Amino acid sequence: MIGRLNHVAIAVPDLDAGIALYRDTLGAKVNAPQDEPDHGVTVVFIELPNTKIELLHPLGENSPIAAFLEKNPTGGIHHICYEVDDILAARDKLQASGARVLGGGEPKIGAHGKPVLFLHPKDFTGTLIELEQV
């Protein structure tokens, strides 16, 4: 059901430091920061030959990653994103197998302008999983 790894998202407490690390120290192609007010984050896309890294930084008062950074003050892997062809079919199959889909199970438009869903980390070996329809 799942296809390619679309991205790995890393929450960072200091966006400029994260950008400098990936651009200067690791030598990656780092794009300009993008504010995503609907998602409460600023996102920086880093393009690797086979996938993407996304740096996430809180935006606004009620950012969904604020609590994560409180628990992980130096930052850390926040979620990984797998591609699916049909997000509603994937959701139905997962829910039928007992997996919990976050946010009521209705896809939202993600940072790439495509429908996404998040799966409960406790059902997936402690990892928050994003599914993106491509």
Active site members = 130
Residue number with CB closer to Co ion (24 or 102): 102
Least separation, in Å, of the C-beta of 118 and Co ion?
9
Distance, first Cα to last Cα, the chain: 13
CA–CA separation, 134 and 109 (whole Å): 12
Least separation, in Å, of the C-beta of 48 and Co ion?
15
Least separation, in Å, of the C-beta of 66 and Co ion?
16
Least separation, in Å, of the C-beta of 1 and Co ion?
18
| DSSP per residue, 8-73 | EEEE-S-HHHHHHIIIIIS--EEPPPEEETTTTEEEEEEE-SS-EEEEEEE-STT-TTHHHHHHST
Residue number with CB closer to Co ion (4 or 24): 4
Residue number with CB closer to Co ion (9 or 53): 9
Q: 72 CB contacts (<8 Å, ≥6 apart)?
A: 11
Residue number with CB closer to Co ion (30 or 130): 130
Residues of this chain that interact with Co ion (CB under 5 A) are 9, 81, 130
| Residue 93, amino acid | K
What phi, psi does 104 have (nearest 5°)? Answer: 80, 0
